[in-house]
C-alpha cells in the first residue's frame, strides 16, 4: 500500500530468523514456487514480520515478493471507514477481494512472469494499479488480517496478539487520528471475533511473547 509505514524491529527479525530456519529448508526441497501467509489482527505486526521474513530469505539468496491484503480492499481506506460507519456489519472478509488475491497467488505458482494488481494510495484514498514482476521469484508472502482464508498457500503463519495487546503498536503507527477512536475499538472487537478463530488454520503461531509454536 502506497504511503504505509513499515518499521522492522529486532523482535520481528528474531521471529523471522526462527521461521526461516524451517522455511528455507522447505523452499530448497521444493521444485516450484512457495507461498506463505502472515495473518493476525490489526497492528499485530503482519507487515513488519513479512518484510523481515523476505529480508532473511534474501540473505540465503532466496527471492521473495510481498502481497499486502490492504491493496485488495474493495474501497480505499477512508472510503472504507465511511462505509463501516454507515453500517458496522460491513466489517469482515467481504470487504476484501480475497478471490482476486488468491488468483494472483495461483498465477505466481503457475509461473506467470508479470501480473497487474491493485495498489491503494492511503493518503490519496484512491485505488491505482501496479505491475509486479514475478520472474525469478521463489517465494510469495501474502500478509493481512484475512490471509489465513486463502487457498493457494503452502504455509500459514498466525500472529497471536489481540487488539488490546496491539494498541501500543497502532498508536506508534497511527495512520490517522481515526485509527484510535472509540468506533475503531468496536471494529477491532468484531475483527477479533472473526480473526481469532483463524489461529486453528496456522502451521506456525507467533505468540504474544514472540516465541514460535508449530502445528503438529
pLDDT tens-digit map of 192-210: 999 999 999 999 999 999 9
Residue 57 pLDDT > 80, yes or no?
yes
Supply the CATH classification number for the domain 10-206: 3.40.50.300
Please compute the mean of the pLDDT values over residues 57-65 and round it to a whole number.
96
Which of 29-43, 65-79, 99-113 is the least confident region? Answer: 29-43
Residue 178 pLDDT > 90, yes or no?
no
Domain borders along the chain are: 10-206
Q: Show the 3-state SS of the chain.
A: CECCCCCCCHHHHHHHHHHHHHHHHHHHHCCCCEEEEEEECCCCCHHHHHHHHHHHHHCCCCCEEEEEHHHHECCCHHHHHHHHHHCHHHCCHHHECHHHHHHHHHHHHCCCCEEEEEEEECCCCEEEEEEEECCCCCEEEEECCCHHHCCCCCEEEEECCCCCCCHHHHHHHCCCHHHHCHHHHHHHHHHHHHHHHHHHHCCEEECCCCCEEECC
pLDDT tens-digit map of 138-160: 999 999 999 999 999 999 999 99
Amino acid at each position: 500500500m502506497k504511503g504505509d509505514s513499515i518499521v522492522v524491529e529486532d523482535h520481528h527479525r528474531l521471529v523471522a530468523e526462527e521461521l526461516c530456519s524451517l522455511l528455507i529448508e522447505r523452499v530448497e526441497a521444493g521444485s516450484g514456487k512457495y507461498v506463505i501467509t502472515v495473518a493476525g489482527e490489526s497492528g499485530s505486526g503482519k507487515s513488519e514480520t513479512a518484510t523481515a521474513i523476505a529480508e532473511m530469505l534474501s540473505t540465503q539468496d532466496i527471492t521473495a515478493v510481498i502481497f499486502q491484503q490492504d491493496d485488495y480492499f474493495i474501497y480505499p481506506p477512508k472510503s472504507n471507514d465511511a462505509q463501516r460507519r454507515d453500517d458496522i456489519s460491513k466489517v469482515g472478509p467481504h470487504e476484501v477481494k480475497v478471490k482476486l488475491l488468491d488468483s494472483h497467488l495461483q498465477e505466481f505458482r503457475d509461473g506467470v512472469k508479470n501480473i497487474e494488481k491493485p495498489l491503494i494510495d492511503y493518503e490519496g484514498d484512491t485505488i491505482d494499479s501496479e505491475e509486479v514482476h514475478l520472474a525469478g521469484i521463489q517465494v510469495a508472502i501474502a500478509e493481512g488480517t484475512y490471509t489465513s482464508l486463502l487457498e493457494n498457500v503452502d504455509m500459514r503463519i498466525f500472529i497471536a496478539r489481540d487488539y488490546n495487546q496491539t494498541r501500543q503498536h497502532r498508536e506508534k503507527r497511527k495512520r490517522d487520528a481515526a485509527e484510535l477512536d472509540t468506533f475503531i475499538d468496536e471494529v477491532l472487537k468484531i475483527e477479533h471475533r472473526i480473526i481469532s478463530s483463524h489461529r486453528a488454520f496456522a502451521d506456525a503461531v507467533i505468540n504474544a511473547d514472540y516465541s514460535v509454536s508449530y502445528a503438529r
